[in-house]
Amino acid sequence: MSFADPAPAERLERAAAALRANGFAVEILDAVAAARTLVRHLIPEGSSVFTGSSETLRLSGIDADINAGGRYDAVRPRVLAIDRATGADEIRRLVASPDFVVNSVAAVTETGSLVIASGSGSQLPANAGGAAHAIWIVGAQKVVPDLSTALRRIEEHALPLETARAQAVYGMPSAVNHLLVLNAESRPGRGTVLLLREAIGY
């Protein structure tokens, strides 16, 4: 299977139904512009919001809306202003428990799981449950049949692309040092998946 092509409608519907059965709220949207609008409606003005490192968020404009729009208490700009040598504890606390985390995922399975890969692991606590609310924006190309295919997608598709980006930006390759698998959401209303019919990010 191609990990870059959007999944057809019936597979999106199957993934959405499984996610809902596992406690996630799900919206299937035609395009990323709709997700951008919906994110603005879902997050109250003034909320503290942490955005994960995500090409989906960057390409969609959602990252800029949150971190440069002035509407929210954006965590990422605050973190970037803190000295990493002396402020590591403050950074850790800020990113672990915001009001909202907005991110993408590396894969979503038709059995209703979300899979997030990370090099540093810093964004995982908020996604796992530290944030009061989570919103994940997911391109249709990330829908896979099951967890084993999700892991293969990360290794064969997402990691090489992220390594190329990291090499260009940071001068070093990326790595899948931490994996988070969300099989269900136990807190009703906490997690929302915005599943797009189009491909975006990787």
For residue 95, pLDDT over 80 is answered with: yes
* Residue 172 clears pLDDT 90, i.e. is over it: no
Inter-CA distances, 72 with 82, 131, 143, 177, Å: 19, 15, 30, 31
Estimate to the nearest angstrom the gap between the alpha carbon of 7 and the chain centroid.
18
Domains of the chain, with CATH numbers? 9-196 (3.40.50.10420)
Q: What is the pLDDT of residues 21-59, one digit of tens each?
A: 999 999 999 999 999 999 999 999 999 999 999 999 999
pTM, 2 dp: 0.96
Which pair of tokens denotes residue 121? 């692991």
